[in-house]
Amino acid sequence: MTRTEVYTTPEAFDRLAGEWNALLKRSASDTLFLTNEWQKTWWRELGEGELRILAMYESDALVGIAPLKSLKMAQFMNENVPGISVPERILKRLEAAGDG
């Protein structure tokens, strides 16, 4: 069964670091710009608004991750990035957070 966790604090970068980078190494998109360290640094230096990191798990294994800045970014990814499907319930949580 797949479940999605939403993390909203920068500490999540540290919590997810090992799983995040292990998942990235197994993917076809293994680039520096998608590493946990790069994303953490980008958020620390340039991030504004509310942080949202979506972590998708199958059983207890991380199978997908998406650091999002806002509902608009999640909707954009849903509509324009092949292979990305942000669940409707997550979009509703982002909307309820008011970071449009």
Q: How confident is the model over 46-72, as pLDDT tens digits?
A: 777 778 898 999 999 999 998 876 777
Strand order across the 61-68 sheet: 2-7, 52-58, 61-68
3-state DSSP assignment of residue 20: helix
Query: Can you tell me the mean pLDDT for 24-42?
Result: 90
pLDDT for 6-28, tens place per residue? 898 999 999 999 999 999 999 98
Q: pTM value?
A: 0.70
Which amino acid is located at 59 in the chain? S
Structure tokens at 62: 């991380």
